Structures are given as C-alpha cells and as structure tokens.
Amino acid sequence: MTAKQCLNHTWLRVSVTPTPPPVPGLDESKLFEKGKKKKKNEQSLDKKRLKKFVIRRRWQKAVNAILALKRMGALFYK
C-alpha cells in the first residue's frame, strides 16, 4: 500500500458523527450540580477507610519491593 492509499483507508478516514438529539425531560444542568443532597437510597463510600486502605497497600508494596531486592541481591552474591 502506498501512503496515499493508507490515508484513505476506512480506519484512518475521519468521519463526523452527528450529535444525538436531546433527551426529552432531561435537564443536563442538574447532572453536574455540586453540593446536591443525596437520596436515602444512594450510598457514599467512607473516605477515611479508603485512605487507610490505600496507605496500608502502599506500605505493603514498599515492603515487598525491599524483600524482592534483598532476594535478588542474595542470588547474585552466592
């Protein structure tokens, strides 16, 4: 294939897709409101527990990396 043929290939050809029609009864401004009160049936994640989990996981990864480096060093010095 030549470069010209490649650029005209269907995979590389730019197609403009029309935007979908608006959904009746949907107010898009309400989708992005901040500080909106959540309904009772919606759940929120406990961020304190999530942060604690992330910190613990990061610590475990660091310890595993040190142990792996120690094992690799032991292989080379035998």
Position 44 scores a pLDDT of 65
Count Cα atoms within 13 angstroms, Cβ side, for 34. 0
32-46: b or e for each residue (b if 16 or more CB lie within 10 Å)?
A: eeeeeeeeeeeeeee
Position 35 scores a pLDDT of 60
**Who's near 12: CB < 8 A, 6+ residues apart?**
6
pLDDT tens track, the chain, 78 positions? 888 888 788 777 766 666 777 777 777 666 666 666 666 555 666 788 889 999 999 999 999 998 988 888 866 665
How far is it, in rounded angstroms, from Cα 65 to Cα 45?
A: 30
